[in-house]
Structure 1
Amino acid sequence: MRRFIVLLCSTMIFLMLLSGCQKDKNEFTQMELSHPINVELVVPEEEAVTVADLVQLEAIVTQQDEYIDDADDVTFEISLEGSMGLEVAATYEGEGKYTAVYQFPVEGVYKVISHVTARGMHSMPSKQVEVTEE
């Protein structure tokens, strides 16, 4: 009789634990994925850039073909090949355009990376700029 009671109690505890682990199969949580931001980096590519030139760097930020005017952070990282980068803050000009003006100090090939953080996303497109002496 004692074995029967122990077996019955064990079975009841097992069934209670098993029923507590079940999940409602009709429950469904749908997450809405936001569309990615798009950053178009505009730097002088075709025209010759010299050390004396003031160059405008632009990042045009959109999401689903709409301009983003509320980016959390927009900077341009500028580095000469083989050296550490320098970050320049951008200012908002309107219609999704963030700009900064920069004068390259010496000739060489520079890498320009725009760091854009907006609406919980980060984008880092990059381009090269070749700078020559006058």
Structure 2
Amino acid sequence: MKAKKIICLVSMCGLLMGCGLNQEQEASAEDPKMLDVKLNGPSEVGKNETVIFEAVVTYGNEKVEDADDVQFEIEKENAEGQGDMIKAKHRKGGIYEVATDFQEPGIYTVQSHVTAKDSHNMPKIRIEVK
């Protein structure tokens, strides 16, 4: 009788341990990925000089070639809400870019608005126009 209880207890422990391993394996297979956007552009530019800004978009380790929407907002410092939104063009390798020029000297903020893989990311950089 005692041997049957021990065998039953050992069998149950083995079953529970096996289920725990499967849950850990499933959890690691479903690790969430992050939408990452690296915004690149110069920190200084001359007035009326054409400049290119690019957003390198990745999701986990994959380059995003099919973003839902990528736009760049360019706004002069102290002019909040008066910026221009420019739709980005897709190149290959997860790179989205815009080309623009600046008519007036000053400090500007360039912010990319990227929507992809049910996520949104909005990094920004500053640029001085001389």
Asked whether the two chains share a fold, i.e. TM above 0.5, the reply is yes
After TM superposition, the runs of 4+ consecutive aligned structure 1 residues lying more than 6 A away are none
Q: 2:45 — aligned with what?
A: 49
Q: 1:68 — aligned with what?
A: 64
For residues 64-90 of structure 1, what are the alpha-carbon distances to aligned partners after superposition, in whole Å with 9 as ceiling and x for unaligned? 221100000000000001111110110
Q: 1:8 — aligned with what?
A: none
Higher Cα Rg, which structure: 1
Q: Which runs of 5 or more structure 1 residues have no equivalent in the other structure?
A: 1-29
Q: TM-score, normalised by structure 1?
A: 0.71
Q: 1:92 — aligned with what?
A: 90
Return the alpha-carbon distance in structure 2 between the equivalents of residues 119 and 52 of structure 1.
36
Give matches, 1:29-48, under 5 Å.
32=30, 34-45=32-43, 48=44
Q: Which runs of 5 or more structure 2 residues have no equivalent in the other structure?
A: 1-25
For residues 3-34 of structure 1, what are the alpha-carbon distances to aligned partners after superposition, in whole Å with 9 as ceiling and x for unaligned? xxxxxxxxxxxxxxxxxxxxxxxxxxx88463
Q: TM-score, normalised by structure 2?
A: 0.73
Return the alpha-carbon distance in structure 2 between the equivalents of residues 122 and 33 of structure 1.
18
Greater helix content = 2
Matched length: 102
Percent identity of equivalent pairs: 38
Return the alpha-carbon distance in structure 2 between the equivalents of residues 52 and 122 of structure 1.
31
Q: Secondary structure at the match of 1:94?
A: coil
